[in-house]
Each structure stands twice: as C-alpha cells, then as structure tokens.
Amino acid sequence: MTISRNNFDIVIIGSGIAGVSVAAELSKEASVCILEKENITSYHSTGRSFAFYLESYGNEIIRKLTSSSKDFFLQNSNIDNGNSVLKPRGVIHLAHEKQHNVLLKTYEKLTKINKNLILLNSNETLKLLPCLQEKYIHSSIHDYEASDIDVNFLYSIYFNEFKKNKGVIKTDVKISKFLQKNNNWEISTSDDNLQCKLVINAAGAWCDEVAKLVNATPINLVPKKRTVFCFKPLNLEVKNNWPLAVDINENFYFKVENQNVLGSPADETDTVPHDAQPDEIDIAIGADKIKKATKFEFNSIINKWAGLRNFVKDKTPVIGYDKKIENFFWIAGQGGYGIQTSPALSKISSNIILNKSNKFYEDIFKINLASLSIKRLI
C-alpha cells in the first residue's frame, strides 16, 4: 500500500455515491484519494436523490444489482443507534380507468420477478392513500416490501469506512491535466500535483468530460434532468407512513415526508453536465398532475430542486477498464438507480480492480458482467 500525501495507489474522480462506495471497499487494501470539484461532497445527483429501494425497478440487470444489494442494506437497518438505511413505506402504482389495461400488463410482468405485489381495486387503494380523488383512481399495484433509502445515512456509512481506512478526500479541486508516465498517473490540479497507479472515473454527469482529459473515448453519456418540489397541503392531514404513489406510466409521483408532500413530474429532459436547477414550467406540470389525481390543495411551493440522472443508450451502468487507456477505470451511467445498486456495483468494481472473484454475483444472482462492461458500447 502506497502512503504519501500526494502519492496514492488509486485516485477516484467524484465524491458521489459511486465514488465514495467504491472508495470504502478499495481503501481496505489500498491507499485511496477522492478528488471532488465542488467544495462539498455528493453535491449533485446523490445529494438530491428521491431514493427508494424497489426490486422491480429498472431493466433486468438493474433488478439483479438491486436484489444483490439487499443484504448490505438490511445489515445497516434497524441498528442499535436508531439509524436505518431502509425505512419501510411501500409503493402504489396508480391507474385511472384508461390506464387499467396498462396496469394489468405491468402486474403480469412484474409478478414474474417480484412476489410482493398485490392488485388492488379503487376502494382498497383509497384505504392506503385516502388523499386520492375517488373519481381518479381505478386500480393499483401495491408493493408492500418497498422502502425509502436514507441517503444521508447510507453515504455516511461509506464515508466513515473510507476515513477509518485513512482515505483522503480533496474538495474544491479542479483538474487541469492527466499524464501517464511509466504506468503511473500524474494529475495536475488547482490544489496540488498527485501521483497514482489507477484512476477511477466516477464523475457522474462529467464522466465523458474526464475521459476526454485522458484521451479515452467518451461513452456518450446523456444527463437527464429530474425535478422535485415540496408543498404542504392546506386541506388535509397527511401521514408520513403513506406509501409512495407512482403513476403507472410514471407521469408523476409523490410521497409524504415530515408532514409535507414531495412530488415530481418524473421529467427526463436531456441536458448537458451542469448544476441542475428546477424550471418553473416543470414544477407547474408536476403540481397540476398531482392536483388532478389527489384532493391536495396548495398555493405555494416550500422547496424545489433538480438533479441529473445519467444514462448510456441501454440505461445500464458502465463499469470496467477502458479499452484504450491503461489503468483508467469507469463507474458511470447509473441513471436513477445509483443509490439502490451502490453496494453491488462498488463490490463488483473493487473485486475487478483487486483481482478478486465476482463468483457470488455471477452464480447466485446471475449477473453477466459483460452486460456492464464498457466493451459493449465501444
């Protein structure tokens, strides 16, 4: 293990959930430094996540990564200090009359992979979510095992493990140059010059920008903006234990938190890497959809924010060594699934880097590592 203020075995670009989770794993056996361009950690997507554990969410590989992350989440839930990564809530997929056939097809598909689903009629749905308009709701699917993810607590678990292992994090750092010399990297930054053996690109929406700095081929990552807003209903007493409500076509969703309602129009607006901010039109669209489906009356928005969800064309994460540039490793394109898959993705990535077996993920959960490899894209 290399130990020096400016000389590390591994430098990770980005302090979001991808960077800090793999850092927690790798720092057990290597010296690791995280470089973050913002002056605080997890500023962009991770810090703005509407995180939820839902095993039926995403494509087949995402669902397998989520399922194989469950043990880690459970081990860090309901622990002695009262903190819990998973907080049971449940989710209800809503359908009005014209969406009923879509809901039935979705139910048929999801029950093949998730046995925790119940088909509900309108009255049964209203018992769980009395805030819904009786004229709106026709039927729903209830996943009673779904849970909130406490992102701050999850992040602290990874970060504390990283610091316990003498990991180093440098914030407010701008990288100007990468240079490879004798199979080692020299990294010029606004703070200092660093040396390392391996660079991990976990820069979120900026992964392609980092790739260009090392002359690696970009993976054509597309950041998509997602808006969230918060309001307090004027006419209803809301309950924090109500399930998350998601339109069956994912046109909107909402949940109660701290006696307020968090809502989203489930927008996916293609954009470029930037500090995402909510647009008033997206908030208005989301508020209108939620008002039509519910009895909520509200005149003002208490809070609002936006984040970037970053995808490649097949909406599956990219992990592995670059095809062209040696000692350059990608962890990118987690999209809206980065939180719920972080235990599996970080462990699989660290096993590859440390030349350890991923037999557990390949044999038990049938995860085809080739489906995550950058080689499928380039």
> What is the tens place of the pLDDT at every residue in 3-27?
457 899 999 999 999 999 999 999 9
CB 343 within 8 A of CB 18: no
Q: What CA–CA distance (Å, rounded) separates 342 from 91?
A: 21
User: Tokens in use for 289?
Assistant: 């959809």
Strand order in the sheet with 147-149: 52-53, 147-149, 86-88
Q: What is the pLDDT of residues 103-122, one digit of tens each?
A: 999 999 999 888 889 999 99
- Per residue in 303-326, pLDDT (tens digit) is 999 999 999 999 999 999 999 999
CA atoms within 13 A on the CB side of 23: 35
Look at the block and give the residue holding tokens 């993810």. 149
Check pLDDT > 70 for residue 44.
no
**Amino acid letter, residue 72:** F
- CA atoms of 262 and 264, how far apart (whole Å): 7
Encoded tokens for 336: 């809206």
By the 8 A CB rule, do 159 and 24 touch?
A: yes
Tell me if 155 sits within 8 A of 74, measured CB to CB: no
Of 285, 281, 241, the C-alpha closest to 264 is 285
pLDDT category at 42 given cuts 50, 70, 90 is low
Q: Is the pLDDT of residue 334 over 90?
A: yes
Rounded to whole angstroms, how far apart are CA atoms 44 and 205?
9
Residue-level pLDDT at 80: 64
Nearest Cα to 372, choosing from 61, 128, 89, 6?
Answer: 61
User: Which domains are delineated in the chain?
Assistant: 7-48+151-220+314-376 (3.50.50.60), 91-144+222-311 (3.30.9.10)
Which uninterrupted H or E stretch holds 34?
Answer: strand 32-35
Q: Is the pLDDT of residue 216 over 90?
A: yes
User: How many other CB atoms sit within 10 Å of the CB of residue 118?
Assistant: 14
Gyration radius (Cα) of the chain, Å: 22
Measured distance CA(265)–CA(253) in Å, rounded: 7
On the 0-12 / 13-18 / 19+ scale of CB atoms within 10 A, 183 is exposed
| pTM, to two decimals | 0.93
